Amino acid sequence: MKIKNRQIPIRHLLSVVIGWIHCAMICSPIYALILNFTNQEVSRETVIQNHLRGLFIFIPVVLSWLAIRYLRNILLYLLASIVICALPLFLFGTPVMIPPVVLLCFLRFYNRLLGEKHSLLDNPAYPALAAFLIPAVTSIFVERLDGVYQHLALLYMAVYFLLCFIHHGIERIDGYIDVNQNMRNMPARRIVRISTSILGAAFVLFALILLPPLIGSDVELRYTPPPAAESQAETVLPSASPEPVEEEEEEELQMLPDVKPNPVMTAIMHIVEYAILIAVAVGAVFGVIYGALRLSRSFSKSFHDRGDFVENLQDDQLEAVHEAPRVRDRPRFLDRSPNATIRRKYRRTILRAAKEPPQPWMSPSEAEAHAKLTGDAAERLHRLYEKARYSPDGCAKQDLSEL
Amino acid sequence: MVTILILLLLLAAIFLAQKYIFRSRWNKNLDIQIAFDREYVFCGEDANLVETIVNNKYLPLPVLEVGFDMSRWLAFRDEENSTVSDMTYRRDIFTASVKQRITRTLPFKAKKRGYYRIQSTTVTSHDLLMSEKLVAHIPQTSEFFVLPAHLSVSQIRIPYSKIMGMLVSRRRVYDDPFEFAGIRDYRRTDPMKHINWKASARSGSLLVNQHESTLSQKVVLLLDSSGTGSSITDALNEVSISIAAELCERMLADGISVTILGNGLDVLTGKALNTGELSGRSTALYMRKLLARITCRNDLPPMLDLLQAAREHSGKENNLYILISKEQKTRLLPAFEALAGEHEAIWILPEDRNMPERNKMTDTSKRVEIVRWSV
């Protein structure tokens, strides 16, 4: 029997890889933080290196995933797990990363026993963003920790948020396709194509919004303990510690007029600059999408797909298909005439009484029947509404008193 | 910190904006039409239902579920997307990119005569990130006729020959002086008033005018549609309607005027069946559509009332009456005899071939010829 190789969609692979990356991302800052506490003096560069080195936990995560997937014999998996758990020693030269790998292997083993398909550590989740706050918050209160932890935490959170966003999006698409897989003529390929394109565009847009300002930011917060009564405590804010200025320079500065920029104006200018950049980015993303769409339309005007005949409407055809937009004849906002008042009152009454808003094609009687309005008051309102809406003279002020 | 706050606000704003835009725009310039590819078919034939989606805007719809309900007597060939209970509830999934028209054709089989409508469509869509469901209702005005089934020529030949025999026999007696048919040689039995003197003078021998006898070729068909519920009753009713349709079509094709009266109710008007006087081949489709629209029910007025009413309204016309009724009770026969008067009439009696002999009607009549039709 000929066995046909099943094609694995790219989005499935992407989803699995995101699951691996999310594990590595959660462990990496904690690894750097622990190393910072175990070593005496750690420079800013070393912190960044430790963060990047912590990402090497990706290798045991991948091996563990492959082991649980392809080793059917549980004993073989346990043997492989022992090897995988020992791997961090060689990768990091320290046993710090062994516990997370042991936990990961155990959870996979536990899930295998329970028959569950996905472990918690294979799916990124928004609540896990809080894990990145641990090194950032610690660095605020512990003086020996560098402020770069805060900067990196924000960057990690942004990247992790994007991973979560794309992973959840893929899950929603796959979930919908799985639920409806037995439907006949379901255009699954086109659904996936359109929804993943939208997801990709949103991802690019969010990445353009989030990453550039966070990469360039210099956030650094410090907790300053209140000064003791007997002696003035030194401020711990690094920005507050003034550097010794030479006397000559000080004199020159004193001679210059006070030209300190207004902080509010600076912030506004930053915001405006950022808004312009975002607008340009959004425009570029939509421009690329629109261009790609127009280009693809010029190649194929119609095609068949799973029993559907799909026609791409051309611009000259659009006018024929396009219906003239219906302008709803509503009283204007500033119109306070009796006619407008009665019509507003009628509309409000109908909308309050009806569970669902009436359809635009309904006549007043149909709308009242839809809203189940009965009684004298309803009849009076109906009469006044028809007078206000359709009669040439309209309602007078006396009619308003009837309401 | 300000930057982070702005970023968070911006993300939230973009997320809410896409939600708002999608909510307010998704069903704008979206047209969904569910239509049959033809106006009518005969019972047992196949037809197609065509679903057309037009998304005429620059907003893609990643998923579009179109749901509608239809009579279960129109059976789709693929039943995966349908749930059949009292009706057929169908849900189809589409996706529409920007500015696209999608057409899907669904073949189905018309299993029962009737008049069918699709009045509304429920459209469900998911937003751009597939996180929210949105629903709208779009009215439809599709209608479809399943005409009474065709009967085979061999089946209908016998009753039709009898009818034509009766009509021919009447034709000799009652000529229409206003319907000129031709000229022939004079015979000794011809009345003097039929001699065409001008033509005789021209030819030198006596010639007489021949006349058509359309006035005497009027047929009134009385159709019984009462009773429903059991399969045999339904089958007998459907056969009765098919016989009526087939006979009428043949008679109209032969230039005979036909009127069909029945106790079955029209689904559109709610009134009892009355086609009025039909003549000409072109009215056959109209007649079949009227027959497609009638419903068979248990609470219909009895056939006896219809016969009495027809007798009260009949004048001095010399109509040929044809009764199509499965009623085996003998009291219908005297009433039908009374309606026919001095003339001959035909009763086509559809009956279950497994019916015990003791339940069958045994009465006979000199003027009413009973033609049994086994089902």
Q: Dihedral sign for Cα A187, A192, A195, A197, please.
A: negative
Radius of gyration of chain A (CA): 33
In this prediction, residue B92 carries a pLDDT of 92
Give the span between the Cα atoms of A145 and A44, in whole angstroms: 9
Chain B residues close to A154, C-beta within 8 Å? 4
Is A322 close to B105, i.e. CB distance below 8 A? no
| Beta strands B257-266; B294-295: pairing state | antiparallel
Contact partners, residue B180, CB within 8 Å, separation at least 6: B209, B210, B211, B212
- Residue extent(s) of CATH 2.60.40.10 domains in chain B: 27-147
Cβ atoms of residues B290 and B148 within 8 Å: no
Mutate to test the interface with A, among B3, B19, B78, B90 (most CBs of A within 10 A): B3
Which is more confidently placed, A159 or B375?
Answer: A159
Q: What percent of chain B has pLDDT over 70?
A: 93
Any CB–CB contact under 8 A between A312 and chain B?
A: yes
C-alpha closest to that of B66 among B106, B39, B98: B106
In this prediction, residue A236 carries a pLDDT of 45
Q: What's the CA angle centered on B292, arms B290 and B298, to 5 degrees?
A: 105
Mutate to test the interface with B, among A186, A205, A217 (most CBs of B within 10 A): A186
Pair of tokens at residue A65: 């995933």
Chain B residues close to A308, C-beta within 8 Å? 94, 102-104
- Residue extent(s) of CATH 3.40.50 domains in chain B: 153-172+214-374
Cα separations in angstroms, B37 against A201, B111, B119: 40, 17, 16
Q: Which residue from B10, B11, B131 is facing A172, i.e. has the nearest CB?
A: B131
Any CB–CB contact under 8 A between A270 and chain B?
A: yes
DSSP letters spanning A298-352: HH-SEEEETTEEEEEPPHHHHHHHPPPPPPP----TT--SHHHHHHHHHHHHHHH
Chain A residues close to B129, C-beta within 8 Å? 169, 172, 198-199, 202
Q: Which residue from A169, A186, A194 is facing B97, i.e. has the nearest CB?
A: A194
Mutate to test the interface with B, among A185, A286, A300 (most CBs of B within 10 A): A185
Give the span between the Cα atoms of A197 and A273, in whole angstroms: 29
Is the pLDDT assigned to residue B153 strictly greater than 70? Answer: yes
Mutate to test the interface with B, among A195, A285, A289, A300 (most CBs of B within 10 A): A195
Q: Taking the model in full, what pTM does it have?
A: 0.71
Q: Classify residue B271 by its DSSP letter.
A: S
C-alpha closest to that of B316 among B336, B335, B343, B344: B343
Alpha-carbon dihedral A36, A38, A39, A45, rounded to 10 degrees: -20
Chain A residues close to B103, C-beta within 8 Å? 308-309, 311
Q: Classify residue B195 by its DSSP letter.
A: B
In this prediction, residue A276 carries a pLDDT of 86
Contact partners, residue B282, CB within 8 Å, separation at least 6: none
DSSP letters spanning B14-49: HHHHHHHHHHHHTTTTEEEEEEESSSEEETT-EEEE
Is the pLDDT assigned to residue B277 strictly greater than 80? Answer: yes
Write down how long chain A is. Answer: 403
Amino acid in the structure at residue A41: E
Contact partners, residue A283, CB within 8 Å, separation at least 6: none
Chain A residues close to B130, C-beta within 8 Å? 169, 172-173, 176, 195
- Per domain, the residue ranges of chain A are 10-179+187-216, 271-323, 338-402
Q: Which residue from B4, B10, B62 is facing A195, i.e. has the nearest CB?
A: B62
Contact partners, residue B185, CB within 8 Å, separation at least 6: B205, B206, B207, B208
Is A274 close to B130, i.e. CB distance below 8 A? no
In this prediction, residue A3 carries a pLDDT of 45
* Phi, psi of B219, deg, nearest 5: -120, 135
Tell me: the pLDDT tens digits for B64-74?
A: 999 999 999 99
What is the pLDDT tens value at each position of chain A, 403 positions in all? Answer: 444 455 667 888 888 899 889 989 999 988 888 888 887 777 888 888 888 999 999 999 999 989 988 888 888 989 999 999 999 988 888 888 899 899 888 888 888 888 776 666 778 889 989 988 888 888 888 877 777 888 888 899 999 999 999 999 999 999 899 898 888 888 888 899 899 989 998 998 888 888 887 887 777 777 777 766 554 444 444 444 445 555 666 666 566 556 667 777 877 887 788 788 888 888 888 888 888 887 877 777 788 887 889 888 876 554 444 455 556 678 888 888 888 988 998 988 988 888 778 888 888 888 888 888 888 888 888 988 988 888 888 888 888 887 7
* Phi, psi of A251, deg, nearest 5: -65, -40
Pair of tokens at residue A357: 């808003």
Write down how long chain B is. Answer: 375
C-alpha closest to that of B243 among B349, B367, B353: B349
Pair of tokens at residue A269: 């200018």
Is the pLDDT assigned to residue B309 strictly greater than 50? Answer: yes
In this prediction, residue A95 carries a pLDDT of 87
CATH class of B153-172+214-374: alpha beta
In this prediction, residue A244 carries a pLDDT of 53
* Phi, psi of B50, deg, nearest 5: -110, 120
Contact partners, residue A340, CB within 8 Å, separation at least 6: A331, A332
Q: Alpha carbon A54 to chain centroid distance?
A: 25
Chain A residues close to B105, C-beta within 8 Å? 307
Query: What CATH code is assigned to B27-147?
Result: 2.60.40.10
Q: What is the largest CA-CA distance in chain B?
A: 125
Helices (H), A222-262: 247-255
Can you tell me which residue has the tokens 């039908």? B336
CA distance B53 to chain A (A): 9
In this prediction, residue A258 carries a pLDDT of 60
| Beta strands B82-84; B180-185: pairing state | unpaired
Helices (H), chain B: 2-25, 153-173, 197-203, 231-253, 284-293, 303-313, 332-340
Give the span between the Cα atoms of B308 and B342, in whole angstroms: 16
* Phi, psi of A308, deg, nearest 5: -100, 140
CA distance A302 to chain B (A): 9
Three-state DSSP class for A22?
Answer: helix
Tell me: the pLDDT tens digits for B100-126?
A: 999 999 999 999 999 999 999 999 999
Pair of tokens at residue B289: 């559509």
In this prediction, residue A63 carries a pLDDT of 93
As for the ipTM of the complex, it is 0.74
